[in-house]
Structure 1
Amino acid sequence: MAIGKLFIGRKVREIRQAGHATQAQFADKIGISTSYLNQIENNQRPVSASVLLALAEKFGIDITELSSGQNDRLLSALSEALSDPLFETYSPSLQELKLVTQNAPGLAHALITCHQAYRRNSEQLVSYDDRFGAAPSNETTSYDEVRDFFHFVDNYIHDIDILAESLAGQLKLGEGENYAALAGFLESRHGVRVVRGDAGEEAIRRFDPASRILTLSRYASAPTRDFQIAVQVAQLHASDTIEQVLKQAGFRTEEAVEVCRIGLHNYFAGALILPYRSFHQAARELRHDIELLAARFGASLEQVCHRLSTLQRPGLKGVPIFFARIDRAGNITKRHSAARLQFARFGAACPLWNAHQAFEAPGRIIRQLAETPDGVRYLCLAMQVNKGTLGFRAAQPRYALALGCEISYADQFVYADDLDLSNRAAFDPIGISCRICERVKCTSRAVPPLKRKLVVDHSVRNATPYEIE
């Protein structure tokens, strides 16, 4: 949904309180009245451009971060939860949702968690057949809890990223052969020897703490091989920092802690192979040419796309993009969005999105200009990648990678050079998910929207057997 006037009362109050200033002192410093500041902090009035500039000048605030995607993500998740028929008697306005997410984000998160539990419980009850007696669980799964953790920290972990970047500088990664530098570091610093596995070895990576031997699959590609060595470096070199992040995350179960530990090891590995500042600069220089970035850093396309979604360092942010990995059944197995486009938490993605076409055109990067129901327009990219090892009998899972940005950033992508961005007719209408999409004339609709009534006319048959009121 589009975000108009800027209501950032909670952030302004945090800035003022961090400087131990009264409202009168703070108002005087940024050149407004105390009553206006009071109205801003209580979200009764939006922040004007002059106030934004004063905050930037007096307190070194990055204006772009005041309207960061964090509220957009929470706003989208809360809006989706409240679109459930469970809340059919309550239809909050956009302003009401903004007030909740900006002033009481904890309450918004709690409501989203409750809705997730309700959905899981309902789905289990519906699927009951002969399993009576088994108690349905309404607990958030460990996987969902960890996914939400990364989602709401903007997919950027500062302490881990800084540590990885520092080590990458010491090892001069990205300037030569990563394998030799990474393997040499493991052996010299941690006494770990890297070897290739036997022909029958199924594991991509296997570490034996007793012998201090790290065995890698003989058939792993160079980017996969380097990434797995970097994961081992994370386990041995970054464990203290990672444990501190896990402690602060406050997960409810040990299983969630273990799942997140895997994610943080992978995060460190990505940040080590693709160090923040050099990767950020290269992305700008190469205008986000994914294939050239992969070649420059010796990484895979997926590693590059994923890393682009983590460029959210305060003061040095990259282009706000969305990124997702989708399997052939339409399941979103990875997702993050720093843009206003937010992925549905339940159900499949919009069938009109070009991500689904990637399986039909292997080896190509497919481009699409798209517009969501809120009027926001995007440049969307999609490509198919194969996972797994080589060999005729080996499993070859295929995924679609989806990457994109709002059209205002399209000039920073080489893929937009020959597209007519000014022609509104060139943009395909897409949604987030059929269940929450408000488009009433979509011929690709799979299911009706949750909170709209249907009209059935038995004498007329259109693309769908019903009309949406």
Structure 2
Amino acid sequence: MAAHSKLFAGHAIRRLRRSAGLTQVALADALDISPSYLNLIERNQRSISAALMLRLAERFDFDPRRLGSEEPGGGMDGLRRRLADPMFADLGIDRAEMEEWLAAAPGGAEAFARAFDRMGQGGGAQAPDTGSITLVRREIERWRNHFADLDAQAETAADELRLTAGDLYGALSERLRVRHQLTIRILPADTLPDQIRRLDLHARQLQLSEMLDGASRLFHAAYLLGDLEARDQIDALVAGAGFADRTADRLFRRHLTAYFAAAVMMPYARFLRACEGSGYDLLLLQRRFGASFEQIAHRLTTLQRVGARGLPFFMLRIDRAGQVSKRYAGASAAPLVEADGRCPLWDIHAAFDSPGRIVPHLIALEDGERWFTLSRTVEGQGAGLGQERSIFSVALGLQAGFAAPMLHARGLDLEGGAAQPVGLGCPACTRPDCTQRSAPPRGRTLQFSERERGLSPFAFAAD
């Protein structure tokens, strides 16, 4: 969050107080403030000071970074993103109205956000499968992509595996063989021409393509272990989500099983210690845990264990056309994740020009909020001879104010240094002088002059 930004989090404070069973008087006493001041905070008529956030962290088991992400409807960023939909363009809802809505009717704002998301972010215009993906992503973000019980179970399994062999892949193979009578077999690409993994229960084999690298073979072995040994916990999480369609159930189950696999490969406590000890050195983490860059990026979005939290990262994966195939906000509340479009000035796109190289970038959004991102290309797994290998760009990022401990951010002036101005895609961006603009902002009136032409092909009214 930019240093000059004010945080209004009355809804989150009120929810914290009620969950602790405290009256306003009792919470005010615990925080050394007056009840009247707390009442103003809960009604969003006063912002949260840094000192008050520290007291919340000290006296309650509470991460102050959650304040912004727990605002109803995702707060201003969440409402602004949803109201940028073309169906609302004629309403002219400005920031002041959104602030009044959040302050006066937080429950109504949250209800609107849930209804909008359930419709598939566009009045039901999306295909059913896309709507299912949206529902699952919302459930993942509701948990901030951290499933504590599943993480703990995976960590226990990882500790047991370490006692049997120093090589995790070998230990996983042996556990599958002894406990579940399943062996792992690596098959030639021409035997599995269109698959990377197949579970043959008749032969009692997990069959993997020879085209998979070591990190992917390890992941698929751990994935099968999760499907076999964490099924009860995964069943409970899927049932608790309460999805109305089977597609969402199966997508969420797949995510949770993959979560377990990653947690076996990168056990929480060991992984967090390695992150903090190395300054979140991504290459070192890859080598130490036998994981790919993308697997490391995934895992970094999950580090939200109570009392042992990592930095609040988000992750985004795009193809060359800019289409998103993975997005996890974690605890970051990053508008870059939720945006329908991406800015071409953000180096998530430039990573394609330097395959395999980590590209750091300090960027600033329109509201002045700064973000530090690391982008790198990754290749899809399993393509055989004669097949086109897919390539993606993965961006890992967090608010610039949190990035100081990172090795990749050393030497940068995160708060005052030059930052690339970017938007959330041209239709949502109102920067008037962008030479890269490909479309006018939604809800703005275009202006035309026969005598003048600016740097941007679209001139528009300020509001």
Aligned-residue offset at 1:231 = 0.8
Corresponding residue for 1:399? 392
Q: What is the Cα deviation at residue 81 of structure 1?
A: 1.3
Superposed CA RMSD in Å reads 2.9
1:385 maps onto 2:378 in alignment: yes
State how far apart, in whole Å, the 2-side matches of 1:365 and 1:459 are.
45
SS of alignment partner, residue 394 of structure 1: coil
| Aligned residue in 1 for 2:335 | 342
Partners of 2:35 and 2:51 in 1: CA distance: 16
Aligned to 2:277: 285
Give the AA of the match of 1:372.
Answer: L
Spell out the pairing of 1:317-328 with structure 2 (5 A cutoff): 317-328=309-320
Matches of 1:383 and 1:139, distance apart in 2: 28
Q: Deviations over 1:235-256 (max 9, x none)?
A: 1000000010011111121111
Cα 1:431–1:115 change in 2 (3 A) is farther
Q: CA 1:158–1:100 in 2, change beyond 3 Å: closer, same or farther? A: farther
CA contact (8 A) 1:366 1:381 kept: yes
Per the alignment, residue 109 of structure 1 pairs with: 113
Which residue of structure 2 aligns with residue 373 of structure 1? 366
- The answer for the alignment partner of 1:91 in structure 2 is 94
Counterpart AA for 2:82 = A
TM-score (norm 1): 0.87
Residue 142 of structure 1 corresponds to 132
Partner-residue secondary structure (3-state), 1:64: coil
54 and 408 in structure 1: CA distance in 2 versus 1, 3 angstrom threshold: closer
Q: Deviations over 1:321-359 (max 9, x none)?
A: 221111111111111233353236564311111011111
- Counterpart selection for 2:267 from 250, 253, 275: 275
Equivalent residue, structure 1, for 2:220: 228
Partner of 1:82: 83
| Counterpart in the other structure of 1:71 | 71
| Equivalence map 1:143-162=2 (5 Å) | 143-162=133-152
Q: Judge conservation of contact 2:219–2:265 (CA < 8 Å) in 1.
A: yes
Mind listing any 5+ residue stretches in structure 2 that lack a counterpart?
none
Q: Is the 8 A contact 1:358 1:384 kept in 2?
A: yes
Secondary structure in 2 matching 1:379: strand
Identity of aligned residues (%): 34
Are 1:311 and 2:303 counterparts?
Answer: yes
Residue equivalent to 1:17: 18
Cα distance between partner residues in 1 of 2:168 and 2:153: 17
Aligned counterpart in structure 1 of residue 154 of structure 2, from 164, 167, 179:
164
Deviates more, 1:430-439 or 1:459-468: 459-468
Alpha-carbon deviation of 1:67? 2.3
TM-score (norm 2): 0.88
Q: Kindly state the Cα deviation for residue 63 of structure 1 after the two structures are TM-superposed.
A: 4.8
1:419–1:85 CA distance, 2 compared to 1 (3 A): same
**SS of equivalent to 1:305:** helix
In structure 2, distance between residues paired with 1:390 and 1:53: 50
Aligned to 1:129: none
Q: In 1, distance between residues paired with 2:296 and 2:104?
A: 35
How big is the shift at 1:82?
1.1
- Residue of structure 1 aligned with 2:401, choices 408, 412, 416: 408
Q: Does 1:7 align with 2:11?
A: no
Distance in 1, Cα, partners of 2:266 & 2:307: 19
Superimposed CA distance per residue, residues 107-157 of structure 1 (whole angstroms, 9 cap, x where no aligned partner): 143243266454553xx7xxxxxxxxxxxx789621221122213321212
- Which of 207, 219, 222 aligns to 2:211? It is 219
